[in-house]
Amino acid sequence: MTSRWTSRRQRFRRVIEGDACIHPASVHDPISGRIAHDIGFDVGMFAGSTASLTVLGAPDLITLTLSEFAEQAHRIMRAVDLSLMCDADHGYGNALSVMRTVEELEAAGVSGLSIEDTDLPQPFGLGAKQRMLSVEEGVGKMKAAIAGRADPDLVIAGRTSAPAIAGIDETIVRAKAYAAAGVDAIFLVGIKSRDELDAVMAASIGKPLILGHTPPAIADKAYLASRGVRIALQGHQQFAAAAQAIHDTLKALRDGVAPADLKGVASAETMRRLTRADDYDRWGRDWLGG
């Protein structure tokens, strides 16, 4: 059955199944989604970290709930025709929770999501050290994610932090296991060099790759595409930039700068475009009279 999200998911699948590498726009709310679309992005990335910052004003410590995350994703999807990839963290619990996570995010309209194999939230007694789930538990989560999917166009990526935590040999073991479980893509966090990415490519995992970080040593998109990478994240600097702009504007006002003298303020025309003011004016005339 065709849904309002079908075309977005199909566009996203064409990216995942294509032969080019793209950088998605990091988005966190309806306006950032509109800005991304306005300047030409077709794919957005909504991360757990920026969701925690947006909804809670808190660091990424997995204190955000599934409902809060799904509601924010839906707000973005409702506002803009953008294919949205979501970082669904550990699926907010065990494999049964993962199934529920996929159901909720699919209903929210996202085009793709990743489920990871890091042991989250922070276990007692480890300090800042990260720990991974067993491969068997990771596979169970991937199978649960696939079982929770009703729309076959929804992309499910198996995410592993093995490159950062356990090394490339373990990365390949996990990537192959998650691919065999049926995920559509493998999301790698912690790849640092061309040698590491080349080793993953040589292992013939058979799934497109998503990189959670793109260090300068591997940042060439043509090279990444040749190694099977279809999406390469660049970070979430736009959120920090927005926070700095708000800080500077409020501080200027607090220090006595006149509103008319503020720097870096979006024009009235830009705000009208991003808020679809012309559409609302037309709807008002058509439906409210006058």
DSSP string, 209-267: EEES---GGG--HHHHHHTTEEEE----HHHHHHHHHHHHHHHHHHTT--GGG-SSPPP
pLDDT at residue 1 greater than cutoff 70: no
Residue 94 belongs to some domain of the structure: yes
**Same-domain check for residues 171 and 69:** yes
Residue 254 belongs to some domain of the structure: yes
Helix (H, G, I), strand (E, B) or coil at 84: strand
The tens digit of pLDDT for each residue in 231-268 reads 999 999 999 999 999 999 999 999 999 999 999 999 99
Residue 46 belongs to some domain of the structure: yes
**Same-domain check for residues 104 and 217:** yes
Please state, as a whole number, how many other Cβ atoms lie within 10 Å of the Cβ of residue 289: 6
**Same-domain check for residues 229 and 246:** no
**Same-domain check for residues 125 and 199:** yes
Q: In percent, how much of the chain has pLDDT > 70?
A: 99
**Same-domain check for residues 193 and 268:** no
Short-list 157, 172, 237, 245, CA closest to 202: 172
**Same-domain check for residues 104 and 216:** yes
CA distance 139 to 248: 47
Short-list 93, 201, 199, 196, CA closest to 148: 93
At residue 92's C-alpha, the angle toward residues 25 and 96, to 5°, is 125
CA distance 193 to 214: 9
**Same-domain check for residues 118 and 74:** yes
Domains held by the chain: number: 2
**Same-domain check for residues 146 and 278:** no
**Same-domain check for residues 219 and 114:** yes
Residue 1 belongs to some domain of the structure: no
pLDDT at residue 60, as a whole number: 93
Specify the CATH number for the domain of residue 84: 3.20.20.60
**Same-domain check for residues 40 and 180:** yes
287 alpha carbon, distance to own chain's centre: 37
**Same-domain check for residues 69 and 150:** yes
Q: What is the span of the domain harbouring residue 149?
A: 6-236
**Same-domain check for residues 161 and 265:** no
pTM for this entry: 0.95
How many residues can be counted in the chain? 290
Residue 110 belongs to some domain of the structure: yes
